[in-house]
Amino acid sequence: MSANRSAQGQPHRGRPQVIGTRRLVATVVVFATTSAAALGSPTPEQIQFFETKIRPVLAQHCYQCHSAEALRAGKLKASLLVDSRAGMAKGGESGAAVVPRDKEGSLLLAALKYDGFEMPPAGKLPDRVITDFETWIDMGAPDPRDEPLAAVDERTIDVEAGRNHWSYRRLIPVSPPEVKTAGWARNEIDRFVLAKQEEAGIAPAPEAAKATLARRVFFDLTGLPPTPDELKTFLDDTSADAYEKLVDRLLASPRFGERWARHWLDTVRFGESGGYEFDGDRAGAHHYRDWVIKALNADLPYDEFLRMQVAGDLIKPGDLDATAATGFLVSGPYPGQVTAKTVEPIRYDQLDDMVATLGSSVLGMTIGCARCHDHKYDPIGHRDYYAMIACLGKAVQRDTDIDPDPATTKQKHDAWLAERAPIAAATERFRRDELPGRIARWMATDAPVRQAASWLVLDPQAAKAAKATLVEESEDVVSASGKLEANDAYVLTFRTHQRGIAGLRIDALTSPSAPGGGPGTGKDGGFRLSTVKITAAPLVPAADRKPVTPKLSAVAVSFADPGFEFARALDGDAATGWSTVAQRGKDQTAVVGFDKPLGYEGGTLLTVELKFEGGGHGLARLRVAATDSALADWDAASAPQAAREVAALLDAARAGGRDPATGPEAAEMMRWFSRLDPHAAEAQATIDEIDAKEPKPNLLKVYAATNGGWVITGNAQAVKTGSQDVFVLARGEVGRKKGKANPGFVLATLSADDAEQTLLSGPDAKTPPDSRLGLASFLTDVASGSGPLAARVIVNRLWHHHFGRGIVATPNDLGTQGDKPTHPELLEWLANRVVESRWSLKSIHRLIVTSATYRQAGTVTALGRSRDPDNTLLWYRKPARLEGEAIRDSLLAVSGALDTTMYGRTGLDVTVPRRSIYLTVKRSEPIGFLQVFDQPEPVQPVGARGVATVPTQALTMMNSPFVRSAAERLAKRIRATLAIPQAEPSGPMVIDACFAAALARQPTDAERAQFAQLLAAREQATGADASGRQAALADVCHLIFCLNEFVYID
């Protein structure tokens, strides 16, 4: 009825900043499709029914929030009016409230039934009332209330208007303004800043002292203080560009990337564990962090930096850096326990996490708000949200194995192949020339091995358990050791060329080394086998050979506890299983039969999975045998596998008319025959030896995004692989799918609507690329995508970290609800500049930190304070407290403990002297030292950290062993440096050294005297011997660490 809403009315003129304006839509009441006209006039009886059963209920329970009166009182909810027939038909945000004769389609009825919506909120109405409504809808919803529909304040998104929002529009070239004051400005930035100051009649502060400036820019660019030597080098350099040279040195330092990567990691909620239940570790997640450091150090162009994070795995498949970059998408917290009932909402939450992070960090927009409905303030449609997540619809998190150095790997492999070639040739000769004769002789002389035995004991190819360590203790017996815990799961694989396998026998064997003697690993010798799964797959694939998972039946068992029969291991219920505790200390056996015989031509790979769930233990020792008759007695004769396999292979070759010595069976046959013949064994061992030396790439597990079905990994109880399609969800609820979502972007950030398809189809429109590549283009395309917005967002972030406040003070929100820019032209100029400089962030850093604006002292004037108390015009430098990471790194640095090793996984120990960025970010175990100093929780993008002052920080500085050990170390270092044979360094000397190390300055005379007094007082307490003096000096160092000056940088 209001389908052509967007054509109505003009944007509201009175509120120019509000885009996608709210406006009054005086919806014309259209009766044509409502009940009265379509179905004829209601009968008096029907009207009577409405007046007695329906209207009073609506009036009593609904009008308070859903009537014209509620609208006037500002209490209208969900834009829904139920005080007129038209209002009911039109419905609210979710669609028609009442559809005559359609109970399913009438949302009002669903709400009354508390199905989805729950109305009235105070409590469900009695069933008889709900029945009345059903009756009423069935009779066509007769309703005499034909008052015109009240005008509802309804918002529609005006995309065209949205494109004019200051941060969404195309980049506009800007020239720096003229300024009156000559000589102050060092670069263009200063002209923008000074012009505003001149307008306000205030003057900038003088340039800061050189030492102050050095400490500022060291912390700012590297997160570390200058060492006394570094400081001296700078102070001694009297050349005009000494400062610029220092800046260049710092920008080139590897410490730069470590500092600025931390800022970026805040904005992308980086973590190395899953959060939620169990908070599982993501061992390969640090590769993303390492990549960010590398990329920033290398000044990777920012557009490339973004594209890699969104689609690196598609742009450069198999490349370590490109794969690691996509950790961006999947760094968020996801539930660690997923069942069939939760997998779908969790998947949509995951997509929401990706797109919300992308929105906040890259686009400075709160796109997450559009999950349930159009964004309330910004021109971001519900449609845009689903278009964006549809671009990400295939992306899932995985640990991907990546070879960090494929060239070296190939080189080594080629060398190995060359070494192997003569041995392979010799093996080939042995097989051709020797093997047939030896087999023939063996057949002739060793006939008994071919005699029939009911059971063929299988020789495991591999055996692995989730917890225990499984070892092949002999040819056919596997034993468990190591973590013998409950709830284990074993997987054993076997190869065979037998056909017609009708069943398997699982032997549970006693074990002297098991805690209870076996056959289980429990203390009582028990086990509980809860699930058995057997899979047969062809060794030689062919179209007609599909892997099968036979249906299993319990054929026989040697013994079972009552209620724990063998059949319970096959019933599909993890909570039930087979156990034999009552007969502890005895070997046990169970036979499982298949619904149809197994065994492929060309051989079969049998996989036997045994689970011991529900708190039960696993098997201590086990053996598996196969039979071609499932009804064979479980204790009938057994034979080892090798002889029968050789025979089977010979039979197969002959039946196929192939030469067993050279045909496809040869290699397998030699392998089995080597069990029976020493010469064959020797030949086989030679080739095995070289094969074992095959160089393997040193694969890294990289936690990253990849395309795949949405398997959600983790402690998955019943995971399913779902569709990769993304659906639009009404109100964000997975139960309310409104059709498939097509990939696309936030329309208001495009140059025009049709740019969406152009960006999605890529430069080569013949094969539509992955929509994630389209998303990467969209984010960085300046001409038609959201490149201008991305540029504004990033230069504002840089500004934020250099000055403590962005040109827009809400760096994650450049939308209508975010703060307005204090210097819009400057921001625009910087955005242009970063694009022109081919997205070089270092060039922007350099511009900013070499500006006169940045170099100001902290001098405040009365005039300045009265005209601009908040320093929005940047007329002086405000001190800023260091972040927790920088405080910790400083303590390590000044005490001489800092280990500057880069990259890798470090763990949670705060005392490990690596830079803080390398400490593991485990969501359930934040590093206390960093947390207390406002390190944000890694769950949502954070653009501007809070800076709280709490007593636990003071306690940490006063009493924590970490700070104390830094103080002791610094004291020791100073005494060692100043050591003079036969003499103690003087009090003033050591105090000067402490100040130089920790504060990069000399103490004043008064300070020197006060600390000397403290040192003397402490020495009285700690003793005048060397260790006492050192402890006293440590107290002095410790106190210096507690100074505001240590953590507040001018």
Partner 1 sequence: MTMQPDMQPHTQPGRIGELTLPARRAFLRDAGLGFGGLALATLLGAESRANAATGTSVARPLPHHPPRAKRVIWLFMTGAPSQVDTWDYKPELQARNGEPLPGADSQVGFFQTSGKCLASPFPWAQHGQSGSWVSGLFPHLSKHVDEMCFIHSMHLRANNHAPASMELMCGFNRPGMPSMGAWLDYGLGSMNQNLPSFVVMHERKPRGDDQIWSAGFLPKSHQALAIDARRPVAIDNLALRDGHSLGSQRAELDLLASLNAEHAALRPTQGDLAARISSFELAYNMQTAAPEAIDLSQESKLTHELYGTEDPKCKVFAKQCLTARRLLERGVRFVQIFAGRGVGGDGSVDDVPWDGHSNIETNHRECGMATDRPAAALLADLKARGMLDDTLVIWGGEFGRTSDSQGGRGRDHNPGGFTIWMAGGGAKAGYHYGATDPFGYKAVENKVHVNDLHATLLYLLGIDHEQLTYRHNGRNFRLTDVGGHVIHDLIA
| Closer by beta carbon to partner 1, 288 or else 933 | 933
Q: Tell the smallest beta-carbon distance from residue 879 to partner 1 (Å).
A: 6
Site string for partner 1, 557-576 (x = CB under 8 A): ----------------x-xx
Question: Counting contacts by CB under 8 A, is residue 678 touching partner 1?
Answer: no
Residue 44 as a binder of partner 1 (CB under 8 A): the answer is no
Instruction: Considering the complex, state which of residue 158 and residue 1019 has its C-beta at the smaller distance from partner 1.
Output: 1019
**Integer CA distances (angstroms), 956 to 601, 951, 953, 962, in order:** 71, 9, 5, 9
Residues 6+ apart with CB under 8 A from 555: 503, 591, 592, 593, 630, 631
Binding flag, residue 869, partner 1 (CB under 8 A): yes
- Tell me the C-alpha distance between 202 and 195, whole Å: 10
Nearer to partner 1, 120 or 824 (CB): 120
Helix/strand/coil percent split, the chain, to 5: 40, 15, 45
Total residues contacting partner 1 by CB under 8 A comes to 88
Q: Considering only residues 872-891, where is the footprint of partner 1 by CB under 8 A?
A: 878-879, 881
C-alpha to C-alpha distances, 520 to 156, 493, 613, nearest whole angstrom = 67, 20, 13
Spatial separation of the C-alpha atoms in residues 235 and 165, rounded to whole Å: 47
Residues 1029-1048 close enough to bind partner 1 by CB under 8 A: 1031, 1035, 1039, 1042-1045, 1048
DSSP state letter for 557:
E
Least distance to partner 1, CB of residue 191, Å: 25
Q: Which of 802, 774, 779, 803 lies closest to 789, judged by CA?
A: 779
Site string for partner 1, 134-173 (x = CB under 8 A): ----------------------------------------
Q: Which of residues 710-769 bind partner 1 (CB under 8 A)?
A: 717-718
Cα 445 to Cα 439, 441, 450, 643, 766: the distances in Å are 10, 6, 11, 13, 68
Helix (H, G, I), strand (E, B) or coil at 481: strand
Q: Which span sits near partner 1 by CB under 8 A: 531-539, 577-585, 750-758, 954-962?
A: 954-962
Under rule CB under 8 A, residue 279 binds partner 1: yes
Instruction: Answer for the pair 814, 365: CB distance below 8 angstroms, yes or no.
Output: yes
- Using CB under 8 A as the binding rule, the residues of this chain from 980 to 1009 that contact partner 1 are 1007
The CB-of-256 to partner 1 minimum distance in angstroms stands at 27
Non-local CB neighbours of 613 within 8 Å, separated by 6+ positions = 487, 489, 528, 530, 531, 574, 575, 577
Interaction of residue 31 with partner 1, rule CB under 8 A: no
Shortest Cβ 126–partner 1 spacing (Å): 10
Residue 728 DSSP code: E
Q: Closest by alpha carbon to 840, among 325, 300, 308? A: 300
284 phi and psi angles, rounded to 5 deg: -100, 15
d(CA 97, CA 105): 8
User: In this complex, which beta carbon is closest to partner 1, that of residue 909 or of residue 925?
Assistant: 925
Question: Can you spell out the DSSP letters for 399-463?
Answer: EEEE-S-HHHHHHHHHHHHHHHHHHHHHHHHIIIIIHHHHHHHHHHH-GGGGS--SEEE--EEEE
- Specify the pairing of strand 501-509 against strand 588-598: antiparallel
Is cis: bond before 550, omega within 30 of 0?
Answer: no
- For residues 741 and 391, the answer to whether their CB atoms sit within 8 Å is no
Per DSSP, 359 falls in state I
366 binds partner 1 (CB under 8 A): yes
Would you say 711 or 1043 has its CB closer to partner 1? 1043
When asked if residue 132 is in the footprint of partner 1 (CB under 8 A), the reply is: no
- 276 touches partner 1 by CB under 8 A: yes
Taking the complex as a whole, the smallest distance from the CB of residue 90 to partner 1 amounts, in Å, to 22
Query: Quick check: 939 binds partner 1 (CB under 8 A)?
Result: yes
Backbone angles phi, psi at 599, to 5 degrees: 130, 120
Sort strands 588-598 and 552-557 into parallel, antiparallel or unpaired.
antiparallel
- Least spacing, CB of residue 291 vs partner 1, in Å: 25
171-210 footprint of partner 1 as x/- string (CB under 8 A) = ----------------------------------------
In the region spanning residues 325 to 364, those forming contacts with partner 1, defined by CB under 8 A, are 333, 335, 337, 339, 341-342, 349, 360
Only segment of 202-210, 271-279, 296-304, 669-677 that touches partner 1 (CB under 8 A): 271-279
Residues in region 409-448 near partner 1 by CB under 8 A: none
Q: How far apart are the C-alpha atoms of 217 and 237, rounded to whole Å?
A: 16
Per this entry, what is the length of the chain? 1050
Q: Which is nearer to partner 1, 575 or 699 (CB)?
A: 575
| Cα distance between residue 665 and residue 603, in whole Å | 9
Per CB under 8 A, 78 contacts partner 1 = no
> Which residues in 918-937 contact partner 1 (CB under 8 A)?
923-926, 928, 931-932, 934, 937
The reply on whether position 389 binds partner 1 by CB under 8 A is no
Among 38, 582, 1017, 1026, binds partner 1 (CB under 8 A): 1017
d(Cα 534, Cα 141) in Å, to the nearest integer? 59
The Cα 493–Cα 475 span in angstroms is: 14
Give the per-residue contact string, 609-638, with partner 1 (x = CB under 8 A; - = no): -----xx-----------------------
The nearest distance, CB 763 to partner 1, in angstroms, is: 35
Pick the binder of partner 1 from 204, 927, 953, 995 (CB under 8 A): 953
Pairing of strands 715-716, 337-338: parallel
Does 64 interact with partner 1 (rule: CB under 8 A)? no
In the range 462-501, which residues lie near partner 1 by CB under 8 A? none
Cβ of residue 803: shortest distance to partner 1, in angstroms? Answer: 15
| Among 765, 948, 989, 1016, interactor with partner 1 by CB under 8 A | 948
SS3 string, 188-249, reads: HHHHHHHHHHHHHCCCCCCECCHHHHHHHHHHHHHCCCCCHHHHHHHHHCCCCCHHHHHHHH
| Residue 960 within binding range of partner 1, rule CB under 8 A | yes
Q: Is 1018 helix (H, G, I), strand (E, B) or coil?
A: helix
If one asks whether residue 596 binds partner 1 (CB under 8 A), the answer comes out as: no
Q: Which is nearer to partner 1, 118 or 628 (CB)?
A: 118
Please, which of residues 795-834 interact with partner 1 by CB under 8 A? 810, 812-813, 815, 817-818
In the complex with partner 1, the residue whose CB is nearer, 615 or 907, is 615
Among 940, 988, 1001, 1030, binds partner 1 (CB under 8 A): 940
- Say how far apart CA 743 and CA 725 lie, in whole Å: 10
- Pick 378 or 668: Cβ nearer partner 1: 378
Establish if 230 lies at the interface with partner 1 (CB under 8 A).
no
Residue 257 class from Cβ within 10 Å (0-12 exposed, 13-18 middle, 19+ buried)? Answer: buried
Nearest distance, CB of residue 789 and partner 1, angstroms: 15
**426 and 777 Cβ atoms separated by less than 8 Å:** no
Asked if 73 touches partner 1 (CB under 8 A), the answer is no
Identity of the residue, 428 or 1050, whose beta carbon is nearer to partner 1 in the bound complex: 1050
Q: Which of residues 833-862 bind partner 1 (CB under 8 A)?
A: 858, 860
Per CB under 8 A, which of residues 961..980 are in contact with partner 1?
Answer: 961, 964
**Residue among 114 and 166 whose Cβ is closer to partner 1:** 114
Between residues 279 and 628, which has the closer beta carbon with respect to partner 1? 279
323 makes contact with partner 1 (CB under 8 A): no
The whole-angstrom separation of Cα 658 and Cα 660 is: 6
Choose which of 107, 369, 509, 702 interacts with partner 1 (CB under 8 A): 369
